[in-house]
Each structure stands twice: as structure tokens, then as C-alpha cells.
Amino acid sequence: MDTDNRPAVGAEATVFETAFLGRDAVAKVRSPKGYRHPDLDASIRRARMRNEVRLMRDARRAGVRTPVVYDVDVEKCTVIMERIEGEKLKDALDSSDLSLAICAAVGRAVAALHDAGICHGDLTTSNMMLAADGGICLIDFSMGKSAATAEDIGVDIGLLERAFASAHPGLERQYAALIDAYMKKKKRPEEVLKKLEEIRNRGRYT
Ligand SMILES: Nc1ncnc2c1ncn2[C@@H]1O[C@H](COP(=O)(O)OP(=O)(O)OP(=O)(O)O)[C@@H](O)[C@H]1O
Ligand SMILES: [Mg+2]
């Protein structure tokens, strides 16, 4: 687990548009946090940045679309990456006529990620983009990990379920389409179902 409490989503980093060798890019900068000891702060920020860069690459190798990293500045804790033209899924979903198909594509992307042994760590529709070409791109891997266990994967889906329900009340059919596509694509889906059941029961009795 983390050594600190994570501030609200989006509070850790600043993302702004830039260019890299003539290509549209974004810079994601993790600025120092005054409430942490400076050395600890620097090491947390660097670890998250490295983790994010590594997992984005690993995910892409597993066939899951993620932004291509163009440059990394360890000192400034900045990653320059491909700018995904499109919309945050959180904003796109409620108004799209294609929401069922989009959610099924999300389910397949997450299944491919998990089958590659990667858990995302913050699976919300704010960390997914609907690219202009209609594809799904996953972003914000800083809380993720590789060599994910069944527990990590179950927790990833459990968080997605809660985040989706709170961000998109009324899109129950869309969530069902997501999970249906996930379970169809995922290897050994019964392991995930078992974990989810276990996680739900834990929540009920603690
Ligand atoms: N590669 C990208 N292309 C286009 N937009 C992006 C890209 N990366 C991030 N964004 C936009 O910036 C927002 C914040 O990015 P991100 O989720 O990576 O940061 P964060 O939530 O602040 O970070 P963290 O949780 O790592 O502290 C995203 O929701 C998205 O709208
Ligand atoms: Mg985010």
C-alpha cells in the first residue's frame, strides 16, 4: 500500500497541452507536496512516475491502448506523452448513443490488461478516454502494478463497479455490458467472480 493518503483524484498531478518534436503532446507534472517531508515527497513522486511510465508501456505491449511516452524528466517529475484526441469517458458516456458498445470495449480492454498481469489501481471513467477514432485508451496508471494477483484484479473490478455506479447512476445496463464483455474475454473469469464475491462479503461484515 501507499505510505500516504492519496488526495482527491486529480490533485496529484497537473496535465497540460504541449508539443514534442512537432507532435501534439501533454505534459503530466507532479509538483512537490508541502505536506510531505521533501525527500519522501521526491521519492514518492518519482516512484509513481516511473511506475506509470512502465505500466503504460507494458499495457500497450499487451494490446491495450495507452498514450505513448515521448520523454521523461526525472528531476522535474514530468512525463511528456502522446495527446489523445477525444473525450474523457466520464463526459462522453452519458450522452453517447453508442454507450453500450463503448462499455463493452472498455470491458475487453480491462480484461486484456488483467490477463497481462497488470492491475490499474484507479479504474474510473475519468481515467479512460474515448479517442476520436472510437477506440478506448486507458490513462493514469500511477497506482497500478504488474504481477497482479487475483486479489489485485478483484479489487480493481470492485473499485470500477463502485466508481461507475457513483459517476453514472442510471447507466446500469452499460455497466452490465462492460462486465459481460470483460467476463467473456478474461481468462479464468470464475476466479474474478469468486474474488468479487469475497470482497463484497468482506465489506458487508467489517
Ligand atoms: N495523454 C493524454 N491525452 C489527453 N488528455 C490527457 C492525457 N493524459 C491525461 N489527460 C487529461 O488529464 C486528466 C488528468 O490526467 P490523469 O488522470 O493522468 O492525472 P491525475 O488524475 O491528476 O493523476 P494522478 O491520479 O496520477 O495523480 C485526464 O482526466 C484527461 O482529461
Ligand atoms: Mg486521473
Q: Are 94 and 186 part of one and the same domain?
A: yes
Q: How far apart are CA 57 and CA 41, in angstroms?
A: 25
Round to whole Å and give the CA distance between 27 and 156.
26
Task: Name the domain count of the chain.
Answer: 2
pLDDT in tens, 131-187: 999 999 999 999 999 999 999 999 999 999 999 999 999 999 999 999 999 999 999
- When pLDDT is cut at 50, 70 and 90, the band that residue 11 belongs to is low
Q: What share of the chain is helix, strand, coil (3-state, %, to 5)?
A: 50, 15, 35
Can you give the pLDDT at residue 10? 54
Taking residues 192-198, what's their average pLDDT?
95
- Do 74 and 125 have their domain in common? no
Residue ranges of alpha helices (H) inside 132-188 are 150-167, 172-185
Residue 94 clears pLDDT 50, i.e. is over it: yes
Structural domain includes residue 28: yes
Q: Are residues 77 and 134 in the same domain?
A: no
Q: Of 41, 122, 140, 152, which one is the catalytic site residue?
A: 122
Query: Rounded mean pLDDT of the chain?
Result: 92
Residues 132, 187 within the same domain: yes
Tell whether 4 is covered by a domain. Answer: no
Domain-located, residue 5: no
Which residues, 6 or more positions from 108, have their beta carbon under 8 angstroms from its beta carbon?
181, 182, 185
For residue 83, is pLDDT > 90?
A: yes
- Our answer on whether the CB atom of 84 is closer than 6 Å to any ligand 1 atom is yes
Q: Are residues 50 and 129 in the same domain?
A: no
pLDDT digits (tens, 9 = 90+) for 39-69: 999 999 999 999 999 999 999 999 999 999 9
Backbone angles phi, psi at 25, to 5 degrees: -140, 170
Which of 82, 108, 126 terminates a domain? The answer is 82
Separation of CA 134 and ligand 1 centre (Å): 18
Ligand 1 atom, smallest distance to 11 CA:
22
**46 shares its domain with 101:** no
Cell numbers linked to 38: 521533501
- Is residue 146 one of the residues assigned to a domain? yes
Please tell me which residue, 161 or 205, carries the higher pLDDT value. 161
Give the predicted TM-score (pTM) of the model. Answer: 0.92
Q: Is residue 6 part of a domain?
A: no
Do 52 and 112 belong to one domain?
no
Confidence band (pLDDT; 50, 70, 90) for 7? very low
2-6, 98-102, 155-159, 179-183: least confident range: 2-6
Instruction: Provide the grid cell at 18.
Output: 504541449
Catalytic status, residue 122: yes
By residue range, what is the domain housing residue 26? 14-82
Output the domain CATH number for residue 101: 1.10.510.10
SS3 81: strand
The residue whose CB lies within 8 Å of the most ligand 1 atoms, and thus the one to mutate among 16, 23, 28, is 28
Here the CATH number for the domain that contains residue 77 is 3.30.200.20
